[in-house]
A and B are shown apart, each in its own frame.
Chain A
Amino acid sequence: MAEEFLNVKNVSKYYAGVQALDNVSMSINRGEIRCLVGENGSGKSTLIKIIAGVVKQDSGEIIINGKSYKQLRPIDSINEGIQVIYQDLSLFPNLSVAENISLNQLIEENKKLINWNEVKSIAWKELSNIKKELDLNERVENLSIANKQLVAICRALIQNAKLIIMDEPTTAITKREIDNLLEVIFDLKKRGISTLFVSHKLSEILQIAEKVTVLRDGKKVGDFNASELDYDTLSFYMSGRKIVHSTFDYQAENDKKTLLEVQNLTKKGQYQDISFKLHPGEIVGMIGSLGSGRTELALSLFGLNKPDSGKIYINGELVKINSPREAIDLGLSYLPEDRLKQGLFLKQSIQNNIVVTNLKNLLSKFQLINDKQKSKYAKMWVDELSVNVPSIEVAVQALSGGNQQRVVIAKWLATNPRIFILDSPTVGIDVASKSNIHNIIRQLARKGIGVIMISDEVPEIVRNCNRIIVMAGGNIVREMNTVDTTEDELFEILSSNSKNSERYVP
């Protein structure tokens, strides 16, 4: 039943002289689950906007349901059954589940008055069609992201969706929730509805999709069956570069000083009975899906989430960490998961971002900031980490993800940390920059800094850490040396644990 639904034929698009899409073709069949991948700037979002009719292609045609469009308008795209669910979901946080699902239909029917029974019955019907139950009266802002996605899917289905395009749907949901989402998608497939995932989380893409379309620099690299791809080939197709992956070789020193020791740390509802050690020069990987307690634990170590009980030793001394200030003074640094919101002052210059953790050392004798000193200092770090920028005066928001992350790292290195906790350091960063950041992290470890790297990408952990701690449901379920395991084994451990443990309910 390979009946074609969408056919994008030889589409090209220029933006101000830059070729965003170069002769790209792609076809999606009814009921197909497809992934569209590519690094930032590869043309993914341009392609989606063209399919949605929001952006007009310069040449080429779009054939939907056998009907050819040279100039597709948004309304044509919607009428043909194409629904885009953007990453921010475009839901109304203050309105109920029922209203969020049915509002579009009410707008479309151009009804002036609202019949609340109808609103609820529309929503209830659509939810039961995807075999899900949600409280129709609950405000959407109180739902988990996964449930918000279900609401967005229902809303799309109500408008007779034949193809649902989901932009980065798995970024903020747990493994269990991803499985749940997939169940829904497979159900839709049975009803002949196609799904196009847009993503750059490599390991998940391979799990989800049947077929993967890879874009690079506006050109299509090819369509591949997910079964013939693995992490390395996919990252090669995306970046065009063979990235040499060496594993991290950690030489345990003889006088095994302990840098950080955590004993029976517990915070009710978040994590229980956590004990582990970290030595100088180590990179310890902490892996576990969202909700496993990993980020909450990291926040506790950095003084942002007070634990209920347990002990933390640094260099053998019992410490209490009540604020980030105290953590920094103890030699701890924490690179947050969400660098845009928590790691950077986006509108400020690179220079200001780098110096912010260390203003104390830049004061003149009148206790004012010494500008010369400041720019000298910022330049030093920019060179040290090879942040690729025209000037240190550029606002951080203008930088690529990789460069932004280097700025965050520089900011923390400026505090001279002995323990560096990195939470998901390469999320949303393209493949080439990724390996560069990994190299930076290894260099830090070689200098004797103890690193804790939190991630949910198995290959990243296995290739960069000498020891791995697996967390699930707030517990450490496994601790092992990297040399004793393989990527496949770790995948196995993770997926068996994510199925057995319920997500904690805060």
Chain B
Amino acid sequence: MNGNHWDVQIRRIFGQNESYLLFIIIAYSVLVIFLNPSFLTLENLFDLGKSSASLGIMAIGVFIVLLSGGIDLSFTAIAISGQYIAANVLIATGVDNILFAFLISGLVGVCLGALNGLLISYYRIPTFIVTLGTLNIFHGFLLTVVGTKAINSAQLPKCFKIFGAKNVLTLVKPGGGSYGVSVFTAIFIAIALLSWFILKYTRLGRGIYAIGGDREAAERAGLNVARIQFFIYCYVGILAGIAGILHVSLIRYSNPTYLVGSELSVIAPVVLGGTRITGGTGTIIGTVLGVALITLINNSLILIGLSSFWQGFFTGVIVAISVSLSSYQSRKNVTI
């Protein structure tokens, strides 16, 4: 056994691709700290954890869909629908309760997700086409039927703002004022752990891997492919609904035209995390690291002093490089 070296240990825990990512994250952080020491404050790190939570939750949903060999483009429309409908219902009913908001948004999410799931599992329509269609249907429905007017901070029910400022752990700054670990981060971690458990330790989760590996073989093995697919799209729907509430609580503003159009920037960290777009391969930890890296880049560019317009550019470069590297690696291992 020569498994005592630290690098071997890390690879065992994280896997090959994930350890590369971890390495890049650390190297990049060191570079940023060197350029701007204020990056390495607990406050900034906690802040990153908070602002990346809704992206992270949606990314986990996308990850599970990609894992099963499908793709979901409609989740942003689901997230904004859940958010905007929940905010409107809270205003209309006067119930100022964040759990009620989660309930409504989650309900909207699961219903819309179920519609995707129905079309995909029962009618066997390709996932790309279904979700490209429902992206526009959901968003179009929201804008025409529910409304187009943005809800500004003053109109927004208080519970969102209170929830947005809530910490699970609060520290006091030396010079007064406080900062801490946001409840957002806790929710993100809880969802990541739950999804990890489902994927690793339940038959349902292994079924998701199996479908992504070879759908026909999964059917022959006696897995109920349709039911598993239905679950996946409902689950993504709920996650999108939750992400929608986090999003509005963070920016204290609900505009029904937000989020839609940002699908690819959610898919990017998932792919960066080592998930194969063809299905069957990928891990939750990879996705979380992918989200971390993308958030890190976006945040640090400003700290370094580059315009935020560079964000898209750098994200693109890193996705392109890392995906080419891993596909080159796997091609090297293939025999003729």
Contact = CB atoms under 8 A, between A and B. Distances in A.
A316 interface: no
Given A92-B217, A296-B336, A113 B209 contact: no
A95 B210 contact: yes
B200 interface: yes
Interface residues of B, number: 25
A93 B221 contact: no
Contact of A95 (B200, B203, B209): B209
B210 A92 contact: yes
Contacts of B216: 90
Contacts of B210: 92, 95, 103
B202 A107 contact: no
Given A113-B201, A114-B206, A93 B213 contact: yes
A90 B201 contact: no
The interface centre, meaning the residue of B205, B213, B336 with most chain A CB atoms within 10 A of its CB, is B213
Contacts of A93: 213-214, 280
Contacts of B335: 506
B333 A92 contact: no
A425 to B, nearest CB: 20
Contacts of B336: 270, 295-296, 299, 305, 506
Interface string B212-232: 111011101111000000000
Contacts of B213: 92-95
Contact of B203 (A107, A270, A506): A107
A253 interface: no
Contact of A104 (B202, B214, B221, B333): B221
Given A93-B280, A94-B212, A103-B210, A113 B202 contact: yes
B315 interface: no
A94 B221 contact: no
A111 B200 CA distance: 14
B202 A114 contact: yes
Contacts of B51: none
A142 interface: yes
B6 to A, nearest CB: 21
Contacts, number: 62
Interface string A394-411: 000000000000000000
Contacts of A104: 221-222
Query: Which of A99, A103, A112: most chain B Cβ within 10 A?
Result: A103
Interface in A76-103: 86, 90-95, 99, 103
B52 interface: no
Nearest to A142: B333
Contacts of A299: 336
B223 A92 contact: no
Interface string A104-148: 101110011110000000000000000000000000001000000
B209 A106 contact: no
Interface in B58-111: none
A40 to B, nearest CB: 22
B273 to A, nearest CB: 16
B153 interface: no
A94 B217 contact: no
B281 interface: yes
A112 B216 CA distance: 21
Contacts of B333: 142
B202 A112 contact: yes
19 contacts: A90-B214, A90-B221, A91-B217, A92-B213, A92-B280, A93-B280, A94-B213, A95-B206, A95-B210, A99-B206, A106-B206, A108-B222, A112-B203, A112-B204, A114-B201, A142-B333, A270-B336, A295-B336, A506-B336
Interface of A: 86, 90-95, 99, 103-104, 106-108, 111-114, 142, 270, 295-296, 299, 305, 506
Interface of B: 200-206, 209-210, 212-214, 216-218, 220-223, 279-281, 333, 335-336
10 interchain residue pairs of minimum CB distance = A94-B280, A92-B213, A94-B213, A90-B217, A506-B335, A107-B222, A90-B220, A94-B281, A92-B210, A114-B201
Given A94-B280, A114-B205, 8 more contacts: A90-B217, A91-B217, A92-B217, A93-B213, A94-B281, A95-B213, A114-B201, A506-B336
